[in-house]
Structure 1
Amino acid sequence: MIKLFMNLPDSLQNNLEKWGVFFIYLFINGLFVAKYGGHFSFYLLPVYSIAIFVIATFYIKINLKDLVYKYLFWILIGLFFIFSVGLNNYVDGNSLNVDRWDAMEVGIKALFNNHYPYDLKDFMGRESSNLPFLIVLGMPFYLLFGSVGFLQSFSFLLFSYLVFKIFDHYKLRLAALVLLVLSPSYLWEVYTKSDLLSNFILVIGFSYIIWAQFIHHKKIKIEWVSILTALIFLTRLSVVIPLIVILFKAFYKFTVREKLRFISVFILVVSGFIYFFFRNAANWDTILEHNPFTIQGSKQPLFLSLSYIVMAVILAFKVKSYFNIALFSGLVLFIAVFIPYLLYLVEYGYENIMTNSFFDLSFFNMSMPFLIVSLIFILKRNFNISKK
């Protein structure tokens, strides 16, 4: 299927990319509108879809001076950052049906009190599934501001910085932020203090550093690439998909000595973190019964999980630009969630999926940063964007 797509005429492939990515963006956000729109979702869903389509159309057709987009870009950053901070202060996490924020805080408190972090319960009675480095990422915000929810506010600033670096026109930069702040799936993340989308903003930031500073210009040593890869890997198991897309081709071309250096440093960093986080476990049985790897383990057939890995490996050898990295990572991450979503839908029905939350829709947010960046690349390629 991938080979067939790659062999399509350029114009047809371009249209499939353009409308396919845009449809996926609308589909993910439409699910959140349908789930959280309540009795009004029947009306809100078409209104939202039409509004996004109209906004996109006018944005493409109207060309203002670059200075106008520059002012709007920085104003939007400031306003949304203040909004996200205020929302985090306003929302009581204990009133939510989402416990990702508390799972992270439980892990942080456990580490500072020399406790094993993975057999403790959060306010919803669940154990933390956060991998070690994700807990570390939440520490500065918990220590400085008293809440890991502020991670979302600062990850927004990181995303803003990334689009500033990746794109050279303020119209494109502003478009990326508009797509993000008009995304109900992202607003849900900010409201619920969830760390999922923030995690993948970090991943896309890593992917850009590796592309710009290692694959493209060779400014970073292999050891540092290995360290960064290990840290990203220790946030969520699902990051293995974009990691493969970004690095597998480069790793394949390494010499035997370079491969050994990369693997050795990777194992050393991962082992160090695992030892630090697991050292306070009462015994080996506690580790086997209570650990994040078991909780994050795939909830779908093994052959499906392996098929996503194979897909990522194949696509890694098709990478020719950073656009390819963003597009391929976003698409595989989306497929990896969409297929189990369909399986759950068939088995449990729409009511149980959407109303009774048998399936966690937030997993779709893993692909959102990659999809938004892909859409801006498509916008740049298909329409005349120039400074005035």
Structure 2
Amino acid sequence: MNRLLESVKSNQLNKYLLFAVYFIVNLLFLTKYGIRQSFVPLSVLVAAFFVANLFLFSFGKWPPLKKIWTVKLVYILIVCISIAYIALCHVMKDPYKMNIDRWQTLEFSLEYWFKGKYIYDTPNFMGNLSSYLPGQLLLSSVFYFLGNVGYLQVGAFLLFSYTIMLEFKSNLVRFTAILMLGVSLAYIYDVVCKSDFISSFIAVAAFMLFWSSRFRQDYFQKPILLGICVGVLCLTRSVVIIPLIIFLLRPFWNTGWEKKIKFGFSFLLTVSLLLATVLLPAKNLDHLKQYNPLTLQGQSNKLVMLFFIVLAIIASFYAKKIETVFYFSAYISFLVMVSFLGEQYFTLGVSYQNNFFSTTYLAACLPFSIIGYCYTKQKIVG
């Protein structure tokens, strides 16, 4: 186990593994949805995808191009992708016909939440129940009032870009990170379908980058604020506890008792208040047990999930640098979703083209793999 965890610190190994994770996630999206169209043969799409990713992987290796990597070019890229994303938010004229329910589930969940109604017992137009945790509802509420929940993905992209600009000083690395997310098929799918899935993990990754750059010497300089932030983020998606454990457990262990108590109190208070807003409207306790977000968001066997939580706890004490935190977060998040995918294949069969959620869930590791990969490039560039 020690050798395995220590090997994660290898820069060259991580460079290939993290890009492989990014590549696999997007390739699965390409094959899953590419097979549903008849305009371009899937083999041609896959070949073009390989070439494009080879080009993306080899960024910065051509000396003649070094002069073009300016901060102006990075900002142009951010603006262009943002405009494209805003346009993509309006691609679906009639999403009901496409059997895509994420946008509608988020909209009625927010509407019910604002009115104090119970969310988790009402099916959407496809008959699926909402599993939104209050942290995600809180983060999404701004875009609901803007009139289009799809703008959440645009906001998440801008947040990602901001933290990348803050953390990395090389314009080549900045350009690479922003482009990798911008052209990611998994994220483009989220934008078009107004799905908020990847945005939850972008919020966590951005928080980790921002907090580490702001409080590099001591993550618990502001324990109350940290507790509030972590409380909100923990209630976005259940799997986000994996990267948050890796990021904060070792610093929490090493900090003083006063800061631990302040952090713990603010964290528990935040979680309690947010959960109260979605659970108190339940009719009774039996109704709550039958319809609750923790059950609906259970994506993997409990013992398997417990194993990965223990693995995250162990990894936290090996992750002494922020880049190592992202390496572990990418790998473990990916493996969590692969385990869920394995369960789905075992129960539903290997035809994942008909399994909507499996491929989508794999994209949870996307922000961590991109940022981790860029840390490996930063060491090379630097």
Same fold (TM over 0.5): yes
CA distance in 2, matches of 1:19, 1:50: 16
Q: In the TM superposition, what whole-angstrom CA distance separates every residue of 1:156-186 from its partner, at most 9, and x where no partner exists?
A: 1111101100100211111111111221111
Q: Name 1:89's counterpart in structure 2.
A: 90
Map 1:265-304 to 2 at 5 A: 265-300=266-301, 302-304=302-304
Q: Name 1:37's counterpart in structure 2.
A: 34
Map 1:1-388 to 2 at 5 A: 1=1, 3-8=2-7, 13-38=10-35, 40-64=41-65, 68-92=69-93, 93-144=95-146, 146-217=147-218, 220-300=221-301, 302-351=302-351, 353=352, 355-357=353-355, 359-382=357-380, 384=381
How far off is 1:217 after superposition?
Answer: 4.5
**What code does the residue aligned with 2:331 have?**
L
How far off is 1:347 after superposition?
Answer: 4.8
CA distance 1:216–1:66, shift in 2 (3 Å): farther
**What code does the residue aligned with 2:134 have?**
P
**Is the Cα–Cα contact under 8 Å of residues 308 and 336 in structure 1 kept in the other structure?**
yes
Q: In the TM superposition, what whole-angstrom CA distance separates every residue of 1:256-311 from its partner, at most 9, and x where no partner exists?
A: 343332222211111111222223222222222211111012332x2211111111
**Is the Cα–Cα contact under 8 Å of residues 326 and 372 in structure 2 kept in the other structure?**
yes
CA distance in 2, matches of 1:84, 1:64: 27
- TM-score by structure 1 length? 0.90
The root-mean-square deviation of aligned C-alpha atoms, in Å, is 2.1
Name which of structure 1's ranges 19-28 and 261-270 shifts more when overlaid on structure 2.
Answer: 261-270
**What code does the residue aligned with 1:264 have?**
F
CA distance in 1, matches of 2:253, 2:226: 14
**Is the Cα–Cα contact under 8 Å of residues 333 and 365 in structure 2 kept in the other structure?**
yes
CA distance in 1, matches of 2:158, 2:262: 34
**What code does the residue aligned with 1:127 have?**
L
CA distance 1:359–1:68, shift in 2 (3 Å): closer
**Is the Cα–Cα contact under 8 Å of residues 245 and 316 in structure 1 kept in the other structure?**
yes
How far off is 1:228 after superposition?
Answer: 0.8
How far off is 1:141 after superposition?
Answer: 1.0
Q: In the TM superposition, what whole-angstrom CA distance separates every residue of 1:218-244 from its partner, at most 9, and x where no partner exists?
A: 584111111111010111111110110
Aligned pair count reads: 377
How far off is 1:346 after superposition?
Answer: 4.7
CA distance 1:55–1:264, shift in 2 (3 Å): closer
**Is the Cα–Cα contact under 8 Å of residues 245 and 312 in structure 1 kept in the other structure?**
yes
CA distance 1:66–1:373, shift in 2 (3 Å): farther
User: Secondary structure at 1:360's aligned position in 2?
Assistant: helix
Name which of structure 1's ranges 100-109 and 213-222 shifts more when overlaid on structure 2.
Answer: 213-222
CA distance in 1, matches of 2:79, 2:184: 18
**Is the Cα–Cα contact under 8 Å of residues 74 and 171 in structure 2 kept in the other structure?**
yes
How far off is 1:66 after superposition?
Answer: 5.5
CA distance 1:63–1:243, shift in 2 (3 Å): farther
User: Secondary structure at 1:89's aligned position in 2?
Assistant: coil
**Is the Cα–Cα contact under 8 Å of residues 100 and 193 in structure 1 kept in the other structure?**
yes
Name which of structure 1's ranges 278-287 and 220-229 shifts more when overlaid on structure 2.
Answer: 278-287
**What code does the residue aligned with 1:20 have?**
L
CA distance 1:7–1:321, shift in 2 (3 Å): closer
- TM-score by structure 2 length? 0.92
**Is the Cα–Cα contact under 8 Å of residues 5 and 315 in structure 2 kept in the other structure?**
no
